[in-house]
Amino acid sequence: MRLVRYGGAMSLDGYIAGPQGEYDWIVQDPEMDLATMMAGFDTFLIGRKTFDAMVRAGQEKPVKGIEYVVFSRTLEVRDYPQVRVEREAEPVVKELRAKPGKSIALFGGGELFRSLLQAGLVDRVEVSLVPVLLGGGIPLLPAPADRAKLRLLQQRVYVKTGLVRLEYEIVKKQ
């Protein structure tokens, strides 16, 4: 079964974007190999708010070899033929996990993460902890959310930028 991996950058105080959705505070460490990280995925799960930000930035066209699945109750399929627009996340994610392929990236959206986590459909949380305090914004996991136990798989400190890359497995409830 394919893994669903939620990841991205997070501020030290737990935000994935600033109060206005800004992400200009995210730094890229020259030692971090994003191409190798991206090579492990063939599908991105994207929430509507994240997709809206991607459209504003001109980044809504999928990266070659990666299927974008956008979850929205308001977007019209005909308006975005380059992506797969779906209304309900849980059945689609179950279907995707059962198909052969690479890992599935839960690319954006704390609310989408919360719903899939609650449904037991997220396997890993992988964040790059950025040494900045935003004081507010979009949290990694919006409230209300159930508690989830994590097991550390690996960590790496990037000394030049102060980034800390953390990878956790979600301990499944029995």
Q: What percent of the chain clears pLDDT 70, i.e. is strictly above it?
A: 99
pTM: 0.90
Q: What is the pLDDT of residue 21?
A: 83
Q: What is the pLDDT of residue 174?
A: 66
Find out if CATH 3.40.430.10 is the number for domain 4-170: yes
pLDDT, tens digit (0-9, with 9 covering 90-100), for 96-151: 999 999 999 998 778 899 999 999 999 999 999 999 999 999 999 999 998 999 99
Q: Within its chain, how far is the Cα of 117 from the centroid?
A: 12
Q: What is the pLDDT of residue 170?
A: 97
pLDDT, tens digit (0-9, with 9 covering 90-100), for 54-74: 888 888 777 888 999 999 999
